[in-house]
Structure 1
Amino acid sequence: MAKELDCRKMECPAPVLETKKSLENEALSQIRVLVDNDAAVENVSRFLTYAGFEVGVESDGTMSVVEGTRDQAAAIKLAAGSAGRSGSGIESSAKESPAKIMVMAASSKFGVGDDDLGAKLMINFIKTLKEMGTDLWRLVFVNHGVTFATVDSAVLDELHELEASGVTILVCGTCLTHLDLMEKKAIGQTTNMLDIVTAMQLADKVINL
């Protein structure tokens, strides 16, 4: 079975996530992924290689086609086992219950340096959080991170998806008030520092951004 995905005009990690979704839903022996940036070429190629494909890339300088082919029998076998994989292709270990991981976003930017780059990286990070699966337990927004929980958020759809999957989203009320954003809050539970500290105590791991 073959399939073609048009992932042009998509920023990382969207092309890889679309490719991953297709492989999980269908036993594909051939896939062509159309992309228009070098990062997507590299990321999709690496993912397809891990998934057992022979990978080739054709480019005209503007658009690239990442093509993967594999044996049909291997495609069926790997598709059947895809439920045991997470993220970009790391095998999940067996667990009696998922870990409780809390992610706390205290900024609208990821890292320090170029602010525009930091903002893009933070958006991409939040869009990729669903790949943590059931291990993601709490997502907490404080300081300028609360802007992601407002009506103007670039990741509002992704946050609704996380919440629907069972992730609890907490949004600092003090921060919303200070930034005059309380009326613009569009998702999550308005919370306080006691709730946040308690969640940190209950979590198996806390990731601070």
Structure 2
Amino acid sequence: MSASDTVWLFTRYGLGEGPAELQQQLVVKYLTLALESGKLPAKVLFYTEGVRLACSGSPVLSQLRELEKRGVELVLCHTCLSYFGLLDQVQVGVVGGMGDILEALNQAAKVVAL
């Protein structure tokens, strides 16, 4: 199995269950180290609070832009963006539906929920 068979799934505005500031520090560190390693997934999926990571004000916009530059597809849940009123604040990735997310999960050899 290679990284190209892998999908990362973000459902939070950060990593883990700690304080919000710590969660955001951890997601910055994770994505920065992943970019440095060069071991990247085929896709990164965002739903529920995770969609905030790809919107204005996110601490990881530069890392997500770099992932896209390197060919990683970023897919954001339209329903979630709409629910949070963020459709006009998307800065990176493509807005898709839950069907797109389901298809990506079903095709992945490995899913890493972050």
Task: Tell me if both proteins adopt one fold, taking TM over 0.5 as the criterion.
Answer: yes
Question: 1:153 maps to what in 2?
Answer: 58
For 1:135 and 1:126, the matched residues in 2 are separated by 10
Offset from partner CA, 1:129-162 (integer Å, 9 cap, x none): 3245354110111111111111222211111111
For 1:121 and 1:195, the matched residues in 2 are separated by 27
For structure 2, the residue ranges without an aligned partner over 5 or more in a row are none
SS in 1 for 2:74: strand
Moved over 2 A (4+): 113-116, 126-129, 131-135
> What is the percent sequence identity of the aligned residues?
30
Structure 2 counterparts to residues 70-109 of structure 1, below 5 A = 99-109=4-14
For structure 1, the residue ranges without an aligned partner over 5 or more in a row are 1-94
1:169 maps to 2:51: no
Asked if structure 2 preserves the Cα contact closer than 8 Å seen for 1:102 and 1:206, the reply is yes
Question: 2:106 maps to what in 1?
Answer: 201
The 1:200/1:132 distance shift into structure 2, 3 A limit, reads farther
What is the CA distance between 1:99 and its match in structure 2?
A: 4.0
What is the CA distance between 1:119 and its match in structure 2?
A: 2.2
Q: Of 77, 87, 93, which aligns to 1:182?
A: 87
For 1:98 and 1:111, the matched residues in 2 are separated by 22
Question: Higher Cα Rg: structure 1 or 2?
Answer: 1
1:138 maps to 2:55: no
SS in 1 for 2:18: coil
C-alpha RMSD of matched pairs (Å): 1.9
Question: 2:26 maps to what in 1?
Answer: 121
SS in 1 for 2:42: strand
Structure 2 counterparts to residues 52-67 of structure 1, below 5 A = none
Q: Which has the higher contact order (CA 8 A, sep 6+)?
A: 2
Structure 2 counterparts to residues 45-56 of structure 1, below 5 A = none
Asked if structure 2 preserves the Cα contact closer than 8 Å seen for 1:100 and 1:135, the reply is no
The 1:143/1:191 distance shift into structure 2, 3 A limit, reads same
The 1:114/1:136 distance shift into structure 2, 3 A limit, reads same
The 1:190/1:134 distance shift into structure 2, 3 A limit, reads same
Aligned length: 114
